[in-house]
Amino acid sequence: MIPVEELLDKIRAYNPKTEETLIRAAYEYGRQMHQGQYRHSGEDYFSHPVAVAYILASQRLDDATIITALLHDTIEDTRASYTQIADMFGGEIADLVDGVTKLTNLQLSSTETQQAENFRKLFMAMSKDMRVILVKLADRLHNMRTIKAMRPEKQLKKARETMDIFAPLAGRMGMQWMREELEDLAFKVINSEARASIIRRFLTLQKASDDVIGRITADMRHEFDKAGIKAEVLGRAKKPYSIWRKMQEKEIGFSRLSDIYGFRILTQTETDCYAALGAIHRRWFAVPGRFKDYISQPKSNGYRSIHTTVSGRDGKRVEVQIRTLQMHDVAETGVAAHWSYRDGERSENPFAVDPAKWIAGLTEQFDAEEDHAEFLEAVKLEMYADKVFCFTPKGEVVKLPRGATPIDFAYAIHTRIGHATVGAKIDGMRVPLWTRIKNGQSVEVITADGQTPQSTWLDIAVTGKARSAIRRALREIDRDRFIKLGWELARAAFDHVGKKATDKALETAARHLNMKTSDDVLARLGSAELTTVQVLNAIYPELMPDDAEEIGKDLAVIGLAADQSFDRALCCQPLPGERIVGITYRGRGVVVHAIDCDTLSNYDDQPQRWLDLHWHGGRHPAVYEVSLDVTIGNDAGVMGRICTLIGEQKANISDMTFVDRKPDFYRLQVDIELRDVEHLHGVISVLEAENDVAAIERLRDPARAAGATQDAM
């Protein structure tokens, strides 16, 4: 356990005027309250609150936050009360401790409806005093650092909750160091083999490339000395999870990943930031499309920095972040910089945002959302999204998530403009509505009277605001049609479990699902925003065992007529979770294609054959075959390890064909049976992390469709 003197030394280093007497009293009170309590590791329980306080002291936070950390579990786990804490330490600290207690009691990994409501409560807690969230994040960080003492199933639950909620929340608040550590600690639990494989391969790379970080750091310092720029250069390798995520996003193996080194350049002034950027770009080649200026266009949490990627020594790509020391303080602590102390005074960092304004701007986007699923989607989109900055024709700045389109831009301006959109111009040129907006572009929306939102916009829009507005409009436009389709789905699903889809049953489902009427339930079913499994589970949970959640092939696709059957297209092998369309064939039913399948261009002139389809929600069985093109090293035991890794992911190998044999490698086509697209990503990710897998990609071959393109209407 950290002694009180060590904690006080940490605090005095940045706040010599700290109220030592009060902190000592909180330390002693917490120790007495937790006396006789022990952690899973066998340590005294009070070692945990002290460690949380030390983490917050490392962020130079105020006394109230430190004392709250020392007492944060007392109301929940001991005989201490709110009144006692208020009497001893004041109302401010009592309110903070009570806020952390309420936040701890939220079951953030529960069902989607409860999770959405819990996010609302979380934002409410943040809006009252954000220091509550800072204590909770530090609490989660220490729990993750000591998670090995928990039961394996508890570790997995906590790790997933950390990855889904707390890590992105820390990132959204600008606390990138905490986000990275939380992600890596959770990654170690969720996929320890993949993490270990990345570390092994990274160590091998380090040995082969010698001290690449030291050499590049020296090169940068030399360039700055020549230019007369005072700057500190910090180099580091990226965290294992960061590398893993990049491998997934770019769908490449470790051997092809180049930018795994990052460098931070800290200057005295903003002018020096741009001078340092010039020196870097004069010395090394800048990588096109990898430049962002968050100094001129800061993020909403106050983050400011210049980002660029250059080709360094031996052609290796390195990421470079350039910012001043004050900007760095905000980049490290995010909105917590508002409470930071330096030399006994509240530090006046001009770049720190006002937490009250920040949280008000964040919650404003979600207040209008009545639907739980849409609220949750909006929250997660906002928390995970990186930003791009674009301009209206009048020069006003609009902030959107990365990957946003003119549809998102239109709805960001006003819902009425979004509904009436018929086209867009970017930098004066007419572009399709699905065009991705880039930083610094000027966007103009073209509208027309009488225009209404199209269902295809849901595949184009990225922001939660746009998607929820489109859904609401489409529900009104297509409500009658969706109610009829929903009734058919409900009737079949209720019959399947021996029940009748009566008005009373559907009204009961509406109450349990927080909807106003039974028609709302049917409309959601018909629009594929609600699954029959969710409806049945709301009324008859006892009839819905785990295995009943698997969706049979006869119910797998929504949008078919009663007499229509379907086959998956061989060319693209679509999986549940992917956007799909159907092509009708005479005598063959419907062939389902992925929306991005190249073969669909053959039917552009036959719109009457197209069907708008959706995969049914819920859990699908692992029966959908997908082909992988895998290149592996020709070595003893490699094939066995590959098969074992696939099996561990609960995927079945249905066929395996050798495409090419060379002395040093084999190329295979491996056919595996999967549940959905997430199952596929899991299998590919695990195989990519294996040392002996040189390359892997999903095999999509338009030639396979040759036999399926005979005329059919």
Residue 34 and residue 44: Cα distance in Å, rounded? 8
463 confidence band (pLDDT: 50, 70, 90): confident
Order of all β-strands in the sheet with 652-661: 652-661, 665-674, 624-633, 693-698
Q: Is 92 left (phi over 0), alpha (psi -120 to 50) or beta?
A: alpha
Between 453 and 341, the more confident residue is 453
Residues 671 and 704 sit within 8 Å (Cβ to Cβ): no
Residues 220-265 pLDDT 10s: 999 999 999 999 998 877 777 877 776 665 555 555 555 577 889 9
Q: How many Å apart are CA 219 and CA 217, to the nearest integer? A: 5
Catalytic site includes residue 76:
yes
Better-scored residue on pLDDT, 125 or 462: 462
Q: Does residue 601 carry a pLDDT above 70? A: yes
Q: Is the pLDDT of residue 661 over 90?
A: no
Give the list of residues 6+ apart from residue 682 with CB closer than 8 angstroms, or none: 649
Please state, in angstroms and rounded to a whole number, the distance separating the CA atoms of residues 694 and 690: 9
**What does the pLDDT read at residue 636?**
80
669: which 2 tokens? 């086509």
Question: How far is it, in rounded angstroms, from Cα 117 to Cα 121?
Answer: 6
Side-chain half-sphere exposure of 2, counting CA atoms within 13 A: 19
For residues 287 and 259, which has the higher predicted lDDT (pLDDT)? 287
What SS3 class is residue 63?
helix
Q: Is 339 exposed, middle or buried (0-12, 13-18, 19+ CB in 10 A)?
A: buried
H helix runs in 584-653, sequence order: 638-648
pLDDT averaged over the chain? 80
Residues 333-362 have a mean pLDDT of: 55
Separation CA 117–CA 373 (nearest Å) = 10
Reported as a single tens digit per residue, the pLDDT across 354-389 is 555 555 555 555 554 445 455 555 555 454 445 677
Rounded mean pLDDT, 687-701: 83
Q: What is the pLDDT of residues 45-71, one digit of tens each?
A: 999 999 999 999 988 888 999 999 999
Catalytic residue among 19, 20, 43, 76: 76
CA distance 231 to 127: 38
Domains, the chain, ordered by start: 4-190 (1.10.3210.10), 206-346 (3.30.460.10), 358-465 (3.10.20.30), 478-549 (no CATH), 556-713 (3.30.70.260)
DSSP 8-class letter at 555: G
Selection from 199-213, 514-528, 564-578 with the highest mean pLDDT: 564-578
Confidence of residue 395 (pLDDT cuts 50, 70, 90): confident
User: Exactly one of 77, 164, 251, 444 is catalytic; which is it?
Assistant: 77
SS3 at position 51: helix
The pLDDT score that the predictor gives to residue 78 is: 87
pLDDT per residue as tens digits for the range 22-53: 999 999 999 999 998 988 888 899 999 999 99
Question: How many angstroms separate the Cα of 255 from the Cα of each of 319, 340, 668?
Answer: 18, 42, 19
Top-confidence residue, 409 or 539? 409
Q: Which of 690 and 143 is assigned the larger pLDDT?
A: 143
Tens digit of each residue's pLDDT (9 = 90 or more) over 437-462: 887 788 999 998 888 888 788 888 88
Assign 206 a pLDDT band (cuts: 50, 70, 90). low
Write down the pLDDT at residue 88.
Answer: 92
Residue 674's H or E segment, with its range, is strand 665-674
For residue range 142-179, list pLDDT tens digits in order.
999 999 888 888 888 888 888 877 887 787 777 788 88
Least confident of 206-210, 261-265, 324-328: 206-210
Query: Rounded to an integer, what distance in angstroms lies between the CA atom of residue 171 and that of residue 333?
Result: 10
Provide the pLDDT for residue 128. 66
Contact status, residue 613 vs residue 580, Cβ threshold 8 Å: yes
List 266's β-bridge partners, or say none: 232, 323
Length of the chain: 713
Q: Are 638 and 632 in contact (CB under 8 A)?
A: yes
Stretch among 214-218, 386-390, 462-466 having the lowest mean pLDDT: 386-390
Where does residue 121 rank: exposed (0-12), middle (13-18), buried (19+ CB within 10 A)?
A: middle
- What's at 91, amino acid-wise? G
Portion of the chain with pLDDT greater than 70, in percent = 81
- Beta carbons of 249 and 221 less than 8 angstroms apart: no
From CA 401, how far away is CA 308, in angstroms rounded? 19
d(Cα 227, Cα 225) in Å, to the nearest integer?
Answer: 5
Q: CA 137 to CA 103: how far, in whole Å?
A: 11
Tens of pLDDT, residue by residue over 557-566, are 888 877 788 8
Residue 96 has pLDDT above 60, yes or no: yes
Rg (CA), the chain: 28
Of 372-381, 400-409, 589-598, give the lowest mean pLDDT range. 372-381
C-alpha span between 471 and 455 (Å, rounded): 8
Residue 710's pLDDT is what?
A: 40
Structure token digits, residue 296? 């001129």
Answer whether residue 115 shows pLDDT above 60.
Answer: no
- At residue 109 the predicted structure's pLDDT band, cuts being 50, 70 and 90, is very low
Choose between 383 and 306: higher pLDDT: 306
